[in-house]
Structure 1
Amino acid sequence: MNRPAIPILCLAIVLTAAMAVALPETRAARTPLLLEPAEAEAQLARAARESRRADIRAARLTREAEVATEAASRTAREAAALAARIQQAEADIEVARARYSLTRAERAALTARLAEKQEPTARLAAALQTASRRPLALSALQPGSLKEVVYVRAVLDSAVPQIRARTAGLRAELDRGRALEAEAGRTLAEVRAGEQALRERRTQLAALENRQRIASRAARGAASREAERALALGEEARDLDGLVARLGEVAALRRELAALSGPVPRPADLAADLAADLAGVRPAASGPLPAPSVPTPVTSTRPPPGLQLPVDGRTLIGFGAKRDSGIASTGLVLAPADGAQVVAPAGGRIAFAGPYRGFGRIVIIEHEGGWASLVTGLARVDAVVGDSVIGGSPIGVASGREDPVSFELRRDGEPVNPLQYLR
């Protein structure tokens, strides 16, 4: 009668010992900030989507750079492709961090379940151990009949399959815990690899931008004067809307001047015309006078081609949403990662770049057809007033989640919802 209790004892002791062993902890040094499961799920989906889009942009810009014939166009596309690869690396890091948070949350839930089952299992193991060590002859001397002892042993024998089934499930959960810990370790390794790739790509972009600055240093005289005029407009404007309006007026005047017809061509026989004027006789015109050129409309209902968000991040405030001040938002407020790459939303011309009171460092880009985009909250501005940029060109870096980036899209000075025009 003692023999059937031995498997029960072994199962219970093995189970208790297995549950008593703490699952190995991943090293805490430089571990990512843990997110709530719901937030981690949302970040995982968003970052994975942004990574795919950045990969597509980088591949397209790389192909365009390979077929570009002009050096300036090729360099601009190479810089934009590198910026897209930087944004892809940033998104991949966010994906790994979200996966790490989900893994740790699942492991914490598993640990809690095991803790709940550990106490009753320990009590059962102690009872079985006591029963297995008591000889049957000694049990016969205890109060009560031998029939009761035999009955108890029979009940214990019938419980063996149930105990085995339960211990099999718990052992599977312990295996799952070890698998989760290994997955967390792999995810941390992915974060480290992503950070290394991000540093390398930022170094490459800095070197390329340095070559661009050296190549265009000779043409910086007119650009510096234009930057000074833009800063003067910034000091005169009362607020950001006023600055955008003044820059829009300057841009409209520049487009109208560019659309004017050129100078009147010189006559073929200037001496004959002068003699005719002195004699008071004008020769008959050989043909109808050319019609005066009419400037084409400078506004368009079509948005800038290839419009994209300037930075990747969670949307804090949407277009039209109420701010804390009660005023409706005229753009999007995004929460990027620390030092995230900021790019031009579309191709155009840098109208303003630098600090502006109350908004940190900002960049205003003029697009064709009377459109303009405004990006605020930058930690560093890499754009120069007067430069022509393509969509995706690097224009600066973000401060981080504590200082979000705002993005506005305007048509003829009026804010519009950029989400309606994103590609």
Structure 2
Amino acid sequence: MARSTVPFAIFACAALIAVGAFVPMGIAQRDVGVMEPDEAQAQLERATREGQRAEARAERLAREAENASEAADKTAREIASMAARIQRAEADIAAARARYSLAQTDRAALSDRLSKRQEPLVRLTGALQTTARRPLSLSALQPGSLKDLVYVRAVLDSAVPQIRERTAALRGELEEGRRLERRAASALENLRLKEQELQGKREELASLEAQQRLASRDARSSATRESERALALAEEARDLDGLMGDIDAAAGLRRELAALSGPVMRPANLGGGSASTVPTTPDPTPSATPTTASVPPRDFQLPVQGRTIAGFGEERDSGLRSTGVSLAPVAGAQVVSPASGRVAFAGPYRGYGSIVIIEHPGGWTSLVTGLARINAEVGDEVIGGSPLGVAATEEPSITIELRRDGEAVNPLQFLR
């Protein structure tokens, strides 16, 4: 009996030590945070989807930059491509955090299951060790009949195979624990690498933006006056809706002026010509008058990636309906222009943080609020994906509003 129980006792002791030692270990702990499993799974799926879209935008913009003939257009698309790659890196970081959280949740559940098995295993190990240390010859001298000894030995002979079979599942779970340990460590290392990659891309974007500013500085003689007019509008406006209305009105006036016909040419002969030879101003045609917006901005996109925290038309704390969509991105996330257009306002606005208002062709206007830093200036011509700034580092929230001839519309219906 001693020969059969000693190896198993040794195995049981080793299993007990493994169970007792199976706690989160081997990973340099970081303040990554563990989410609820459903939340982590949803974030993983969303981040994977957003990362794929950002990568597709980056590749498209890079191709457009290669084919651009003008230097300014080429630089703008290179910058937008880099901003898209930053958003891809941010999505990868969010996915790595979700994977780490899921691995930690699985490891905690496994540790809990093993801890529940620890107590009966302790008792079993103690009994087997006691039996293994008692030689068979001494067992024959202990009180009781030889019949009892034979009976106990028979019971043990039949129990040991079953114990081995049942502990096979335990050995499998211990191996699963080691696999989960490796998975969590891999996710944490991937997170570290993605954060380094993101920092490098942000530095590269800052360098590109600095070059663009230097190249366009001489061409921005009227930018200061235009920015001052925009700030004056912001001071006079009672609220954000009033500011948007004033900017829409100014944009409408510019469209009307642009649609006017050119000056009438002076007649060659003022005195001798007949009335029929004097050119007259042509009647305005329907194509010369401003048209109502019908087609949304091409390649419209959300300015930032993140979880939706307030949808279009949702009732706010004030009792009013939301006129935009609010997103919760990662801390310090890259914010980009939702479509091509012209920056009509860029700066702080009371109660909304720093905001950017962009005029798009055809009577469309977009508003982005909640930025912590703005990289755009009034008068800038931007393309879809051009960097506008970054989100806050604490409790970031970015809101996008889209208006058609001053009327708020749901921006999600125009996403491609």
2:99 aligned residue: 99
Structure 1 residue 157: Cα displacement: 0.9
**Distance in 1 separating the partners of 2:140 and 2:29:** 61
Q: What is the TM-score with the length of structure 2 in the denominator? A: 0.95
**Distance in 2 separating the partners of 1:125 and 1:227:** 80
For 1:247-290, what per-residue CA distance to the aligned partner results, in whole angstroms no more than 9, with x for missing partners?
000000000000101111233x2xxx2333xxxx7354389874
2:126 aligned residue: 126
Structure 1 residue 342: Cα displacement: 0.3
Preserved CA contact (<8 Å) 2:259 2:290: no
**Distance in 1 separating the partners of 2:22 and 2:277:** 103
Preserved CA contact (<8 Å) 1:139 1:146: no
Preserved CA contact (<8 Å) 1:48 1:92: yes
Preserved CA contact (<8 Å) 2:20 2:115: no
Aligned partner letter, 1:44: L
Structure 1 pair 8/358, CA: closer, same or farther in 2 (3 Å)?
A: same
1:36 aligned residue: 36
Structure 1 residue 403: Cα displacement: 3.5
Preserved CA contact (<8 Å) 1:308 1:346: yes
Q: Does 1:56 align with 2:56?
A: yes
Structure 1 residue 330: Cα displacement: 1.3
Q: Does 1:166 align with 2:137?
A: no
**Distance in 2 separating the partners of 1:233 and 1:31:** 44
**Distance in 1 separating the partners of 2:15 and 2:195:** 41
What is the identity percentage for the equivalent residue pairs of Structure 1 and Structure 2? 61
5+ residue gaps, structure 1 = none
For 1:333-360, what per-residue CA distance to the aligned partner results, in whole angstroms no more than 9, with x for missing partners?
1111111100000111111100011111
For 1:107-147, what per-residue CA distance to the aligned partner results, in whole angstroms no more than 9, with x for missing partners?
11111111111110110010111123233444344443321
2:377 aligned residue: 384
Q: Does 1:114 align with 2:110?
A: no
Match of 2:366 among 373, 376, 385: 373
Choose 33-42 or 85-94, whichever is displaced more. Answer: 33-42
Structure 1 pair 122/221, CA: closer, same or farther in 2 (3 Å)?
A: same
5+ residue gaps, structure 2 = none
1:336 aligned residue: 329
Structure 1 pair 91/347, CA: closer, same or farther in 2 (3 Å)?
A: same
Preserved CA contact (<8 Å) 1:335 1:400: no
Structure 1 residue 160: Cα displacement: 1.9
Aligned partner letter, 2:274: R
Q: Does 1:319 align with 2:317?
A: no
Preserved CA contact (<8 Å) 2:24 2:107: no
**Distance in 1 separating the partners of 2:319 and 2:162:** 63
For 1:205-250, what per-residue CA distance to the aligned partner results, in whole angstroms no more than 9, with x for missing partners?
1111111111111122211111111110110000000000000000
2:148 aligned residue: 148
Choose 31-40 or 43-52, whichever is displaced more. Answer: 31-40
1:282 aligned residue: 274
Q: What is the TM-score with the length of structure 1 in the denominator? A: 0.93
1:259 aligned residue: 259
**Distance in 1 separating the partners of 2:366 and 2:280:** 45
Alignment of 1:225-264 (within 5 A): 225-264=225-264
1:17 aligned residue: 17
Structure 1 pair 13/25, CA: closer, same or farther in 2 (3 Å)?
A: closer
Structure 1 pair 413/36, CA: closer, same or farther in 2 (3 Å)?
A: same
RMSD: 1.9
Match of 2:344 among 351, 357, 368: 351
**Distance in 1 separating the partners of 2:324 and 2:101:** 31
**Distance in 1 separating the partners of 2:281 and 2:264:** 12
Preserved CA contact (<8 Å) 2:298 2:339: yes
May I ask how many residue pairs the two structures share in their alignment?
A: 415
Structure 1 residue 313: Cα displacement: 0.9
Query: Secondary structure of the equivalent of 1:380?
Result: strand
1:211 aligned residue: 211
2:90 aligned residue: 90
**Distance in 2 separating the partners of 1:158 and 1:246:** 89
**Distance in 2 separating the partners of 1:347 and 1:26:** 49
**Distance in 2 separating the partners of 1:170 and 1:27:** 23
Q: Does 1:291 align with 2:283?
A: yes
**Distance in 2 separating the partners of 1:357 and 1:24:** 47
Query: Secondary structure of the equivalent of 1:392?
Result: coil
Query: Secondary structure of the equivalent of 1:161?
Result: helix
Query: Secondary structure of the equivalent of 1:361?
Result: strand
Aligned partner letter, 2:270: L
Aligned partner letter, 1:249: A
1:300 aligned residue: 293
Structure 1 residue 371: Cα displacement: 1.1
Query: Secondary structure of the equivalent of 1:369?
Result: coil
Alignment of 1:70-81 (within 5 A): 70-81=70-81
Structure 1 pair 275/284, CA: closer, same or farther in 2 (3 Å)?
A: same
Aligned partner letter, 2:230: A
**Distance in 1 separating the partners of 2:30 and 2:16:** 34
